[in-house]
Amino acid sequence: PMVSRVSELVGSMLLRGVAQSGRRGLVARPVRVSARGLAAAAAAGQRILYRSTRGGQSDLTFSEAVLQGLGTDKGLLVPQAIPRFDAATLESWRGLPFHALAAEVMSLYLTDDDLSRSELEALTAASYGAQWRDEAVTPVTTLPGGMRLLELHHGPTFAFKDVALQFLGNLFELLLAKREAAGLSHTLTVAGATSGDTGSSAIHGLRGKRGVEVFMMYPEGRTSPTQELQMISVLDANIHNIALAGTFDDCQNIVKALFNDHAFRDSVGLAAVNSINWARILAQTVYYVHAYHEATSPGAALEGTHVSYSVPTGNFGDILAGWYAKQMGLPVRKLIVATNENDILHRFFQAGDYSQLGVRETLSPSMDIQISSNFERFLFHAGGDDAPALKSLMDGLEDTKRLTPPPSLLAACREEMDSERVDDAEVLATIADVHTASAGEHTLDPHSAIAVAGARRYLQR
């Protein structure tokens, strides 16, 4: 049913043989198709419920929000209140193993009605264990000049999204088991869009999970060869790859269309693993807290020490997690949106111009995006959690490919974040400079180089 529905959406389907053999060394070829052209802080112990940014849903539980993924009104699901921690609590977490820190941070959004403490601790222990190549999970190193680098490449697929997707795969399996025990529907069909790293991370997080079928779409020829192989070489029976002759935005639009076909969505139990899924954002808040601990000295939070983060940004999920961490109480001075030449976010922050242009291929393919889905969550909160106003903006964007923020909204966004644009030439120069200055100790990937270059520019202002 999934492949048939995708075929209807994109107009035509060109099937390329899908290898079914489990013989070692065989690469499974993907299906190939052709595309057409803030809430108040929560009181301690209060159950956090979720609503859509566009106003069509509210009072969803954590389980409902995670399993549903996208709002039924095309909006994204956000917490109706944001829990907070104080400086003393932040300091009390210093030195915890990553899995224990994850349980502490995530527990602020959960009560026993959602997950018990023992269930949460078992989840984080399983998600951040032996599959990570560094026992710190996300270690922090120091670059020449003193800038700190948060390393997010130590997971199974070397992608930062492993942090969230190792957790999400285990969370899906647990929530489905709880639904089965309650006599409810306990199967999911995961539909995802990827520019490379989400797909490989999701597949390695969900492979073999009971009750879960995964259909992953990616733009053919626009992911790295390594990431494509990480996806199509997984032969578990519940994993299905779809290579789309188009861009990441084409893939993402199809996923959104699937979710907005409510009859189809309900019939197959559609679920999301892209960063439109709230659990992805929640898991990523943890490494912002961890990075603060690693970059500061004991007692720093009590002394009011703040840090800034420069984040390579495409779909806006990673930096949004940092923003939520800040709202929870993490001492963050500024979040820097570092973009490549697909600079729709940079144009927004610098000139209020959020107009969609063509996607340009760059050295940082995971950021070759012109539709930043998670930006909607940020706009919702920056606009005072005003769902009707946000819906009007997003309807206009869908109709005209342009979003025109009112001055008050643009000013509110600029209070929280700044931006820098880094082209391919500067990416290469930054990689070379850091490699030389560190005597070969640090070789940045292009995405990390964009964050470093963005931070350097920001500091020079």
| Residues annotated as catalytic (active site), given as ranges | 161
Task: Give how far Cα 342 sits from Cα of 202, 280, 372, 375, 422, Å.
Answer: 24, 23, 11, 15, 10
Amino acid at 245: A
Length of the chain: 461
**Sole residue written with tokens 């390329």:** 16
CA nearest to 360, candidates 248, 194, 202: 248
Amino acid at 431: I
Burial group, residue 44, by CB count within 10 angstroms (0-12, 13-18, 19+): exposed
Joined together, the tokens standing for residue 271 give 């679920």
* Cα distance between residue 186 and residue 94, in whole Å: 38
Q: Which residues contact residue 432 at a Cβ distance below 8 angstroms, ignoring those fewer than 6 apart?
A: none
Q: Which residues contact residue 200 at a Cβ distance below 8 angstroms, ignoring those fewer than 6 apart?
A: 157, 159, 194, 227, 230, 231
Element containing residue 62 per DSSP (H, E): helix 62-68
51 forms beta bridges with 78
CA nearest to 310, candidates 126, 447, 157, 173: 447
* Cα distance between residue 104 and residue 117, in whole Å: 10
Q: 269 — phi, psi (to 5°)? A: 65, 55
CA nearest to 127, candidates 89, 169, 87, 64: 169
- The dihedral through the CA atoms of 7, 207, 177, 79 has a sign that is negative
Q: 195 — phi, psi (to 5°)? A: -100, 5
Q: 420 — phi, psi (to 5°)? A: -140, 145
Task: Say whether 384 sits in a helix, a strand or coil.
Answer: coil
DSSP-derived pairing of the beta strands 402-403 and 188-193: unpaired
Task: Give how far Cα 151 sits from Cα of 91, 319, 335, 431, Å.
Answer: 22, 15, 17, 15
Extended strands (E) in 187-287:
188-193, 212-219, 239-245, 270-271
In eight-state DSSP terms, residue 27 is P
- First-last CA distance in the chain: 54
Distance of CA 47 to the CA centre of its chain: 24
